[in-house]
């Protein structure tokens, strides 16, 4: 396994979980990932295997049928899965975010209804905040929910839903305009159950998932739009039962999501390093293996250092959240560092492979197309820097 990206202080249960997931990745994901990715085929057999392992309920409390594990355990599991194929980690990530939001903010009835079936993988979640004209500027949200008796009527268009077609539960952020003093207090999260599939939804009148968005990478997992035309949602499907809290609930979800994206970056970077260091010991030029050339050794040293630094930053951010502390500073740092380092490590491995790295027969070609998604997922590098900068000024503000 190598000595990179090891985590100190894990319990025996955590080590056993990671060993099981690592074996699953090596046997069930890596051998088929490139073929499925090139076909843009949903990894149904892999998903079924993850259900059997209980990964969809990894962080859901035991009282609701889950394993009750920490954010750190989840992040380390995601790192292992992304090492095999990043798209598979995306399938479980949005589900995890929605389960976290329901567990942290839902009513007792919502927890009892959703969480046991989410733990079993029977309900799979998707997370919907972005819109065609809205990325990081959440205050510009235009999808609207209007109260109509015991229901809300939703109209608008959402964008970039991971698992938009295959999910059966979507947490949707809408503008509700019910008297909040700021735009951020006029947003509400609605929990919408639906039938999986594309086109008009047969069980939710007015809800349409137009189809998969074609992407340069991150294939296999479906990324979609979501169109809502007079969709009626019962008021008891407001997350937490009270309107106006949606922005803060979503930001809590994004905060743990940033740790997840950092973990994905760590996993992809680690796989790129593994491929690069192996190829460097197989390829010969000028009468010796290229690993013996100082230029390649320097590159491997830089790659390994970045893999290790990103992993330790991600672990720190997860542990801080698990400890009940505010972690937006560390999560922003971890997401920024891991995604940028992932891009650089993948590119260096690509360079080590030379012309073969450009061939679809080699795994590094897939990683080279997947890494850019991490630069923009859960907030761009610029957004992370803005978050980190603001928090640093709070921490180090001088007396005036």
User: Could you list the active site residues?
Assistant: 378
**Total residue count of the chain as it appears in this document:** 400
Residue at token pair 């969709």: 231
- Helical H segments across the chain, by residue range: 12-24, 30-39, 44-53, 71-84, 86-105, 108-119, 246-280, 294-322, 328-353, 363-376, 381-395
CA nearest to 58, candidates 73, 43, 80: 73
Residue at token pair 């503008």: 175
Helix (H) / strand (E) containing 146:
strand 144-148
Q: Which residues of 281-297 are buried (b: 16+ CB within 10 A; e: fewer)?
A: eeeeeeeeebbeeeebe
Both structure tokens of 223: 């990324």
Q: Which residues of 317-338 are buried (b: 16+ CB within 10 A; e: fewer)?
A: bbbbbbeeeebbbbbbbbbbbb
**CA distance readout (Å), 158 to 77, 155, 173, 225, 287:** 29, 10, 9, 6, 57
What dihedral angle (degrees, nearest 10) is formed by the CA atoms of 230, 247, 188, 323?
130
Both structure tokens of 365: 């070609």
Give the span between the Cα atoms of 29 and 22, in whole angstroms: 10
User: Which phi-psi region, left, alpha or beta, contains residue 378 (left: φ > 0; alpha: ψ -120 to 50)?
Assistant: left
């Amino acid at each position: 396994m190598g000595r990179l990206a090891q985590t100190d202080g894990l319990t025996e249960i955590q080590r056993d979980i990671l060993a099981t997931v690592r074996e699953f990745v090596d046997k069930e994901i890596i051998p088929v990932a490139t073929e499925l990715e090139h076909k843009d085929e949903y990894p149904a057999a892999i998903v079924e295997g993850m259900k059997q392992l209980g990964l969809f309920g990894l962080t859901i409390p035991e009282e609701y049928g889950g394993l009750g594990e920490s954010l750190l355990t989840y992040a380390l599991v995601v790192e292992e899965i992304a090492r095999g194929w990043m798209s598979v980690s995306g399938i479980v990530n949005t589900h995890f975010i929605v389960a976290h939001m329901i567990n942290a903010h839902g009513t007792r009835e919502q927890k009892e209804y959703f969480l046991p079936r989410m733990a079993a993988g029977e309900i799979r979640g998707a997370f919907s905040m972005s819109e065609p004209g809205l990325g990081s500027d959440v205050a510009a949200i235009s999808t609207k929910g209007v109260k109509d008796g015991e229901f809300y009527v939703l109209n608008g268009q959402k964008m970039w839903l991971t698992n938009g077609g295959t999910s059966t539960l979507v947490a949707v952020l809408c503008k509700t305009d019910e008297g909040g003093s700021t735009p951020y207090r006029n947003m509400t999260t609605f929990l919408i159950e639906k039938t999986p599939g594309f086109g008009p939804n047969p069980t939710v009148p007015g809800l349409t998932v137009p189809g998969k968005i074609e992407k340069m990478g991150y294939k296999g997992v479906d990324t979609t739009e979501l169109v809502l035309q007079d969709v009626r949602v019962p008021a008891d499907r407001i997350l937490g039962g009270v309107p106006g809290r949606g922005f803060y609930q979503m930001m809590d979800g994004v905060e743990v999501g940033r740790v997840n994206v950092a973990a994905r970056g760590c996993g992809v970077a680690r796989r790129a390093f593994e491929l690069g260091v192996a190829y460097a010991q197989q390829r010969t030029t000028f009468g010796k293996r290229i690993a013996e050339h100082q230029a390649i050794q320097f590159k491997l040293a830089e790659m390994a250092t970045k893999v290790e630094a990103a992993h330790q930053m991600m672990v720190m951010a997860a542990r801080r959240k698990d400890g009940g502390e505010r972690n937006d500073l560390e999560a922003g740092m971890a997401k920024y560092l891991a995604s940028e380092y992932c891009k650089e490590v993948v590119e260096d491995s690509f360079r080590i492979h030379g012309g073969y790295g450009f061939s679809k027969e080699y795994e590094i070609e897939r990683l080279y197309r997947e890494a850019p998604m991490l630069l923009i997922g859960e907030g761009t590098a610029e957004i992370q820097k803005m978050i980190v900068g603001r928090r640093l000024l709070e921490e180090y503000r001088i007396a005036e």
